[in-house]
């Protein structure tokens, strides 16, 4: 092993000191030059002043910025409206006969009936032909009328009903008749239903 190593060392050419040192010296000189140039570049870049931007405001914008925010004046306080609670009416209805027709009436509502002769506006009238009275819990049935039961009402208007067209025609005779008719009616508003409490009642299940 030692003999092989000595043989390899004898075969390798021996380089002089001057030949080996020259390439390393040139490389070191190049490296030093590059380092100096880089350091000068970094110094120059650091020495450059930083750009500064300033925003110029107009007179109106400056006035807006300097002005203090105005405090909002409190508006007038809205007072809650308290509705007057009306007493609840008893839920009751009745069936009355006016002339030859029957009507279902409720307190506070109005109905149109056939013309009531001799009744003027704002007159108070009493309907005595009460055939039936009903509540939530009981029913009062008349035979044929409920005794002592009355319906009080007020006359609101005397008017005419909508027009009804009566057309007559006969073929081959040149006969045509077109007649319009408006039935006179009365509007009454029911105010109360009373007098039925003493009658015998039928209790609902």
3-class state of residue 52 by DSSP: coil
Peptide bond into 144 cis (omega under 30): yes
Give a yes or no: residue 83 inside a domain: no
Give a yes or no: residue 127 inside a domain: yes
Please state which of the ranges 57-61, 139-143, 194-198 shows the lowest mean pLDDT. Answer: 57-61
pLDDT of 201: 78
pLDDT in tens, 105-134: 999 999 999 999 989 999 999 999 999 999
3-class state of residue 198 by DSSP: coil
Give a yes or no: residue 172 inside a domain: no
pLDDT in tens, 14-29: 444 444 444 445 556 5
Give a yes or no: residue 30 inside a domain: no
Q: How far is CA 89 from the centre of its chain?
A: 33
Give a yes or no: residue 88 inside a domain: no
Give a yes or no: residue 195 inside a domain: yes
pTM (two decimals): 0.52
Return the residue matching tokens 């925010």. 69
Domain of residue 143 covers: 93-158+184-203
91 pLDDT more than 70: yes
Q: Which DSSP string do the residues of 70-117 spell out, in sequence order?
A: PPPPPPPPPPPP-PPPPPPPP--EEEEEETTEEEEE-TT-EEEEE--T
Whole-number Å distance between alpha carbons of 85 and 6: 128
Return the residue matching tokens 């007179």. 59
Structural domain tally of the chain?
Answer: 1
């Amino acid at each position: 092993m030692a003999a092989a190593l000595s043989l390899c060392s004898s075969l390798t050419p021996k380089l002089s000191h001057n030949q080996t040192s020259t390439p390393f010296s040139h490389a070191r000189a190049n490296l030093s030059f590059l380092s100096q140039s880089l350091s000068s570049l970094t110094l120059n870049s650091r020495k450059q002043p930083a750009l500064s931007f300033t925003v110029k405001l107009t007179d109106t914008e400056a006035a807006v910025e300097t002005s203090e925010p105005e405090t909002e004046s409190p508006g007038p306080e809205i007072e809650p409206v308290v509705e007057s609670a009306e007493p609840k009416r008893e839920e009751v209805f009745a069936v009355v006969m006016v002339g030859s027709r029957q009507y279902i009436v409720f307190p506070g509502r109005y109905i149109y009936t056939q013309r009531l002769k001799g009744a003027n506006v704002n007159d108070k009238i009493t309907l005595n032909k009460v055939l039936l009275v009903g509540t939530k819990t009981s029913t009062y049935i008349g035979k044929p009328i409920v005794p002592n039961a009355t319906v009080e009402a007020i006359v609101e208007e005397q008017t005419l009903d909508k027009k009804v067209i009566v057309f007559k025609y006969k073929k081959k005779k040149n006969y045509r008749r077109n007649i319009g008719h408006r039935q006179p009616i009365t509007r009454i508003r029911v105010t109360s239903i009373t007098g039925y409490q003493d009658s015998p009642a039928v209790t609902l299940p």
